[in-house]
Structure 1
Amino acid sequence: MFCNVSPENGFIIVWEDETFIVFRDYKPAAMHHLQIIPKQHIDNVKCLSQTDASMVIRMSEIGHRILDELDVPPTLRRLGFHIPPFYSVNHLHMHVQGLPYRSFFKSLKYPVATGRNGHTKGFSWFCEASQAINILENGGRVGIFSC
């Protein structure tokens, strides 16, 4: 589905370069809800390794720049990934959200679990971009369980 992102296919593109595309989420959970995808197909966040940390950093920078343009304060931002099998599209995509969420129930799709005992992230089906970057830079893999 995300391999064919274009206005002709119903996507509202807000930013694009030679490597990434940013578009509006078709069922926004938050006041501002965008998706950043690499143009090159990557299945999901579980496929990423240490060599992909710079790509996730770049995606995060793009997301923050767009949220800056939308005047979303840093305290009202959430950037991250759903972790398989808790995702709907088999193409790596980073959710870029300017909160608040549209409802309490929509917020339940994006739980952030902080890590303990030396882990960056706790048990959760959502991983914030900063958590993913830290995990990947340290040679780990992103997963649902603590990592």
Structure 2
Amino acid sequence: MGLSVSIVLIVLALIMTQKKENCVFCRICNEEEQSEILYKDDEYVVFPDIKPAARHHYLIVTRKHIRNAKQLTVEHKSLVEKLVQIAKQVLNENGADLSDVRFGFHWPPFNSIQHLHLHAICPASSMSFVSRLIFRPDSWWFVSPEYVMSRL
């Protein structure tokens, strides 16, 4: 196996073993890490993505540490619906046009943060070529809430 392949496998292994106590999203939810909080309640927190793909690029995060969308079960159907509902609410409150929005989850192993989060990106039409690739709907690495729901 080549050195570059070995390095990629090691990095993926480190990402996959990320522990809750080391999770930056858990720290943001617990206000131990600095971030602009756009919404919060007992179960969810919303904050801007640190590398926005569009003017409005928000992450809707569960306070409960769930590793990723593949961990969801049929019992989580209402959770996915609530993530989308909150995303629409925050986008609307911040003046976004909901007719040009992209929602999605990174699909393992293509996620760098091991904490469930929904991306809400608007206007989707303003994304760069690279962002359109990264956040390409229903690809191997980024999936829509509808796709996640269909797997529950």
TM-score (norm 1): 0.79
Matching residue of 2:103: 79
Separation in 1, partners of 2:110, 2:126: 19
Separation in 1, partners of 2:75, 2:137: 24
Structure with greater helix percent? 2
Larger Rg: 2
Contact residue 106 and residue 143 of structure 2 kept, 8 A: yes
Aligned-pair Cα RMSD in Å: 1.6
Matching residue of 2:135: 110
1:111-141 CA distance string (max 9 Å, x none): 113xxxxxxxxx53111113222332xxxxx
Is 1:49 paired with 2:73?
yes
Separation in 2, partners of 1:97, 1:127: 13
Cα displacement (A) at 1:7: 5.5
Structure with greater strand percent? 1
1:28-57 CA distance string (max 9 Å, x none): 111110101111100000000111010000
Matching residue of 2:118: 94
Q: Which amino acid aligns with 2:131?
A: K
Contact residue 102 and residue 120 of structure 2 kept, 8 A: yes
Contact residue 104 and residue 143 of structure 2 kept, 8 A: yes
Q: Choose 56-65 or 96-105, whichever is displaced more.
A: 96-105
- In the alignment, structure 1 segments of 5+ residues that lack a partner are 114-122, 137-147
- In the alignment, structure 2 segments of 5+ residues that lack a partner are 1-23
- 2:104 partner SS: strand
Contact residue 101 and residue 107 of structure 1 kept, 8 A: no
Matching residue of 2:19: none
- Structure 1 residues 8, 52: CA separation in 2 closer, same or farther (over 3 Å shift)? closer
Count of residues in correspondence between the two structures: 127
What does 1:5-16 correspond to in 2, within 5 Å?
A: 5=28, 9-16=33-40
What does 1:57-76 correspond to in 2, within 5 Å?
A: 57-76=81-100
